[in-house]
Structure 1
Amino acid sequence: MKYVSTLLLLLISVVSCKKTINTEVKTPEKVVYDVVFREGLAGKYEKSYTGNNSMHYYYTYTDRGRGPEFEEDLTLNAKGYITTQTVTGVNYLKDSIHEFFKSNKNSATWLNPRGETKGDFYGDALYFRYEGSPAIYEILANLLLGAEDKKIHLFPKGEIELVTNTSITLSNNTVLNLLMIKGLDMNPTYLWMIDNEMVAKISGNLHIIRTDLKAFRLEMKEIQDTLEDEYLASLAKKLTHNIDTVIIKNVDVFTAQGTVLKHQDVVVNGDIIQSINNTNNATNSNLKVIDGTGKTLMPGMFDMHTHNTKFRGMLHIAGGVTSVRDMANNKQLKTLNNQFTSNEIIGPRIVTFCGIIDGDGPYANQRNVVSSLEEGLSEIQEYKDLGYEQIKLYSSIRPEWVEPLTKRAHKLGMRVSGHIPAFMTATQAINQGYNEIQHMNMVFLNFMSDTIDTRTPLRHTMSAYHGVDIDLQSKDYINFIKLLKDKNIRIDPTVAIFENMFVSVKGEPSPTYDAILERLPLLNQRDYYSGGLPKSGEKVARYKGSFQKMLDVVLDLYNNDIEVVAGTDGLPGFLFHRELELYVQAGIPIPEVLKIATIKSAEMTGVSDLYGSIEVGKKANLVLIDGHPINHISDIRNVEWTMQNGHLFYSKTLYEAMGIKP
């Protein structure tokens, strides 16, 4: 880190001069970009000039049988704003897309998943499409560079700000500018520019890079990573409140037994719970006092299915989640956990490290892919040496590899879980050594066929269409439940993501996110109008019925004393709250759902001696809820603050830092 920071001091200077937009087209050339996903070449992005201020774009990439493909045409006015635009193709889930924007004098008409709309338009605000190519980012960058106050208005509402513009010289002496933009997304948007052309956009696992610079992509990523870390470290310093000794007075305390102790005074000394007593009027004047009247003190909660990044950490903490299982990531995950636990970057404690292994092939996960059993066995040993506790097998693993892989993992003291590999059933995977199954759709497929290619989107569409027909009184189902009990198999349902896939309708707010939609930045709002899996006709009712059947199975698992964990596999915090709401909707009593989110998860992950309940001597990983979730589960969303490792974090300020309305 010190070396990179020193290098950046030599390479970076901040650019403050005003940039003039040049929208003149010089040559009708085609500009080609690679699209890299999870470090594999996954697609391409092409830009062609079709006339004065008019361009055509093509964009596609693939991800295990999913991925978008767009054709896009647009025209700019003299100020650099879009005046006409059309987008056609398919989105990430292969649903058809047709959008347009067209303006005439002082009005505009636009069509997107929410329908067709008309309004006043004066050519001085940027229409931002729902789905489309990366073209919009280049246009946005040039508008921001040309704005005196480094801000532009979006149409029909919204504002975007250019926060930093950093000049960077690569090792081959190429000079670029890296822009950091806020207002579009919860995370800052980073764009790499040369003059008025975007040459790269690096975001998480998805990288778009002009082909002549592809050899320098990882160098650019390293520089951007360092700047991102410095930004997040500055937020941690700003948003962290250190505590010495504090008393939370007159608060209701949720217990490990699923009850509530009313009107308690809880004293925290550093990061330890020092005492819990009935409230009284006497207060040590040396203590910081927090009034807990009418509020509930919860243990820090556990999200049992996450894929962590440095930008997701604050969302967990803002939502009251202080501990997580990471269910597949890169092999540098320990470094991220160290950043979280040291509060260099705000984030939860990772209590379980799960290494992923997938087989090679056209639908491979593109992370830790092996082409032979021997390579898979070697990967398990490497994960063990790194300190990982669990192995997750993925959909392209060969069925004949499962038993020897699980035997090796078990010999090393590691649990095995995952997707059900293609052309296997859950029953077969369990009998060959699985300890846990990720995702309710993988359970559903057990009752359909052992010939389904679960590497492809069939794992979603088959369970969506046929899940409604599963009979919970059938012999096959009852035998499967007995197998789960006999072998002590854990189920990780992640039902909230299936609500979004199966139930949501294009153009309408997804029921999964409806409660928070208006609080989110623009692009995050747009994500939740897409409608999930393509569906029409009888599929609408069948998909909805299949989701209800998922909830029925969750309740049946609970009633049969089979371990169910609460995990998201998606948007941290908010999606976790929805997962808990859905368990209650399924019929599990609220106190039991809150125990699943706290003490039971702590027990499953082996940390209940310090975490998961509010008891004297345990770690003060605490969450103050404005309300009483034991009576109304949705009160779990009302997190006032989260406490961990001797630090206090106010949810309101964490959300505001991410562009989320409190």
Structure 2
Amino acid sequence: MKSWRYLLPLITATMLVIPALRAAEPLSVVANGEVVGSVVVSEQQGKTQIVYRVDDNGRGPKLTTELQLGDAGIPLSLSVTGTSLMGGQVAEHYRYHQGVAEWQSQADSGKQSLTAPRLYIVNDSNPWLLGVYARALLAQPQHRLKVLPSGELSLQSLPQQVLGTGAQQLTLQVYRLTGLSLQPSYLMLDQQQQLFAVFSATGVTLRQGYEAQAGWLQSLAGDLETSRMRELQQQLAHQPSAQPLRLVNVHVLQVQQGQRTGLMSLQIKNGLISAIEPWHAGQHYPGETVYDANGGTLIPGLHDMHSHSTLDSGLWYLAAGITSTRDMGNDNQFLLDLIPRIDSGEIAGPRIVRNGFLEGRSPYSARDGFVVDSEQDAVAKVRWYKKHGYWQIKIYNSMNPAWVPAITREAHRLGMTVTGHIPAFTSPDQMIAAGYDEITHANQLMLGWLLHADEDTRTPLRLTAMVRAADLDLNSEQVQRTLSLMQQHHIPLDPTAVILERLMLSRAGAVTAGDKPYLSHMPIGYQRYRQRTFVPGLTPALDKQYHAAFNKMIALLGMMHDKQLQLLPGTDDTTGFTVLRELELYVQAGMTPAEAVRAGTLDCERYLGREQQLGSLEVGKRADMVLLRDNPLDNISNIRSAQMVIKDDSYYFPAEIYQALGVSPFALPPNKL
């Protein structure tokens, strides 16, 4: 399951508008150097039509938008039809008539009386509309606009860029658009204010004929975001200078025993835990930076064992209490550049363990890491990953199964292990025999029991076929045979149950159980994006089956826990909120809260081989911890109450991070004494 992060700046944009311009030039969508989609704009009988198509890794939005502008360039009506990322049906409509704005989308419906048309945030949008959006904002004195259904957008001008020479030279104005989603959007307008590009560090949509410039634009996005992240790190990271840092009036969770101490005082010097001792009211600590935890609970830093790092994911992770991640596939050069910046303290972020992504060449290839064309090439890339400090190899869906034994042999020879999806037209049992040391995603495991031999998991079938799990007998011979193989070979599962919950159970106009605790705090565009149906062709009967299938997956995780098979909490996401939900789902599957916290802390460090330094709160270990307002042993959901996060010689207050990111905080910082 590949992250769709390069699509997010494109599909959460809004609509809207300004006076008519010359016909827009078509755009290409580029991911990892390859064209994976297009945006074509035309005028038909006074209406603007935008056809947006993406086909990457067997999925992507396919949308047709039609809008009609009023005299002021604001849409009086618009419609969006087609399918969203995973094939879910889209039918969105907006109309302003006689002082009333009305809309209907996957997320919601509404009606509002207005004296004039207002910009409407479309739930299923496309990159071209960001240019229209920017022009609407440029017409405002402060470059800010209140929008429908709610919220406010702002536009910041950044330095111009010059592209090409001679007659082909273009002077392009760069802008940063914020207030819409979790990350800002970057875009370029030419001197006629036509859209030239929408770009990020992981993907680009740009004018056709300029596809060769996609790499340059990604680098520019990286530079702009790095600058922003550097400024935020300077603003949000706290250091106690030469003074020790101390937390008092605090309980310490001993994850080995699953117990909480009485009220303690914990001291940190030079990034290490230097003392844990009983605390009594009235004690003084001259020459130290002291915070009163007010009876809160300290736990070790949490882990996301299935991440796809971005420049700004670090702050989201730290705010949620996640101090370590395992990157399961990325642009290799981007990741090699990112990690030293985090480790040096230039920008904020968790510790990152890097996995080397290997994919085979096919029409469905995912485009992270390396896409290989031969067994020899695949083995050579394993050596490249080892040389560059990667911890593990991750194999993806289009890999030729016949090449896997050679890949795993070379990885094992070099002291690496192998995880991944189950390549198309094979099974978990076969990949265990071929040398897999771990399996990624619960659906990749379960599809081996649900699919026919000729069914292709390179397509969205790897999600939709999960509905068949509703009738799966977990005690059947085939299920138990695979679990026995996993026991014999000590093979853990990285379930990413949270992302499967989101993809299988998200419904138009509703908020999933995993999103309810935090979604109302988020920017309006993200709130609306989370309220949609991903699975296609949904009927009441099919909806019931999907819920039954998801419950069967949770039961499988409980069975695996009973069999002492390790579950590695991962998310395929970057917000941190999903890590917290993953652990809630483990408790739902049968773990105790203490076992779930240990699964997300010490057990991960033991798997990574770093338990001598990290994973538990002990004198001499690295300072890596989260102060929770509430006790997670009472209720696992109390891990959502982070007040302070400490990583080595820096500490952060989640409330400050969330405010800087446009999110309403969840818990106040502790008091400084």
Q: Same fold (TM over 0.5)?
A: yes
Q: In the TM superposition, what whole-angstrom CA distance separates every residue of 1:453-487 from its partner, at most 9, and x where no partner exists?
A: 11111111112x21122212222222222111111
Deviations 1:240-262 (A, max 9, x none): 11123121111010113221112
State the partner residue of 2:397: 395
SS of match in other structure, 1:241: coil
Q: Which is worse superposed, 177-186 or 74-83?
A: 74-83
1:273 corresponding residue in structure 2? 273
Q: Following TM superposition, by how much is the alpha carbon of 1:116 offset from its aligned partner in structure 2, in angstroms? A: 4.1
Higher RCO (CA < 8 A, seq sep 6+): 2
Alpha-carbon deviations, 1:355-414, whole Å to 9, x = none? 011111111112311111111111111111111121111111112111121111111111
Q: Deviations over 1:517-538 (max 9, x none)?
A: 1111122112211123232132
Pairwise mapping of residues 314-393 of structure 1 onto structure 2 (< 5 A)?
A: 314-332=315-333, 333-350=335-352, 352-367=353-368, 368-393=370-395
- Find out whether 1:90 has 2:86 as its counterpart: no
8 Å CA contact 1:510, 1:531 repeated in 2: no
2:178 aligned with 1:182: yes
- Kindly provide the CA deviation profile for residues 300-336 of structure 1, in whole angstroms up to 9, marking residues without a partner as x: 1111111101111101100111111111112222321
Pairwise CA distance, 1:582: 0.7
Q: 1:98·1:112 contact (CA, 8 Å) conserved in 2?
A: yes
Instruction: Indicate if the aligned counterparts of 2:84 and 2:534 stay in contact, CA closer than 8 A.
Output: no
In 1, the alpha carbon distance for the partners of 2:574 and 2:592 equals 25
Q: State the AA in 2 paired with 1:310.
A: L
User: Where in structure 2 are the equivalents of 1:615-654 lying within 5 Å?
Assistant: 615-654=618-657
Match of 2:9 in 1: none
Relative to structure 2, which stretch is displaced further, 450-459 or 406-415?
450-459
User: Secondary structure of the residue that 2:73 maps to in structure 1?
Assistant: coil
Aligned 8 A contact 1:164 1:181 in 2 = no
Alpha-carbon shift at residue 30 of structure 1 (Å): 5.3
Structure 2 residue aligned with 1:439: 441
1:592-631, aligned counterparts within 5 Å?
592-631=595-634
Query: Partner of 2:424 in structure 1?
Result: 422
Aligned partner of residue 27 in structure 2, secondary structure: strand
CA deviation string 1:115-154 (max 9, x = no partner): 5432213335210111032233122100111110111110
Q: Distance in 1 between matches of 2:544 and 2:506?
A: 11
Q: How does 1:77-226 map to 2 (within 5 A)?
A: 77-172=70-165, 173-194=169-190, 195-226=192-223
**Structure 2 residue aligned with 1:71, among 64, 67, 70?**
64
Deviations 1:417-448 (A, max 9, x none): 10000111101100110000000001111213
Per the alignment, in what secondary structure is the counterpart of residue 228 of structure 1? helix
- How far off is 1:51 after superposition? 5.6
Cα separation, 2, equivalents of 1:299 and 1:291: 18
Segment of structure 1 superposing worse, 394-403 or 414-423: 394-403
Post-superposition CA distance 1:542-591 (Å, at most 9, x none):
11111111111111111111111111111431000000111111111110
Distance (whole Å) between structure 2 residues aligned to residue 511 and residue 517 of structure 1: 10
Q: Percent same amino acid among aligned pairs?
A: 30
The more displaced of 162-171 and 253-262 is 162-171
Structure 2 CA distance for partners of 1:334 and 1:215, relative to 1, 3 Å: closer
State the SS of the aligned residue for 1:64: coil
Taking the aligned partners of 1:212 and 1:252, their CA distance within structure 2 comes to 61
The CA distance in 2 between the partners of 1:223 and 1:359, in whole Å, is 29
**Distance (whole Å) between structure 2 residues aligned to residue 114 and residue 487 of structure 1:** 45
In structure 1, the partner of 2:558 is 555
Matching residue of 1:37: 31
Give the 3-state SS of the residue equivalent to 2:415 in structure 1. Answer: coil
| Native 8 Å contact 1:500 1:511 kept in 2 | no
- Following superposition, the deviation at residue 215 of structure 1 comes to 3.4
Q: Which position in structure 1 is the counterpart of 2:14?
A: none
Query: Does 2:587 match 1:584?
Result: yes
Q: Partner letter of residue 290 of structure 2?
A: V
Cα distance in structure 1, aligned partners of 2:553 and 2:21:
55
Deviation at 1:22, TM superposition (A): 6.5
Q: CA deviation at 1:25?
A: 4.1
- 2-side partners of 1:123 and 1:661: how far apart? 30
Alignment length, in residue pairs?
637
Residue number among 504, 510, 518 corresponding to 2:520 in the alignment: 518
Which residue matches 1:254?
253
Rounded to whole Å, the distance in 2 between the matches of 1:512 and 1:196 is 41
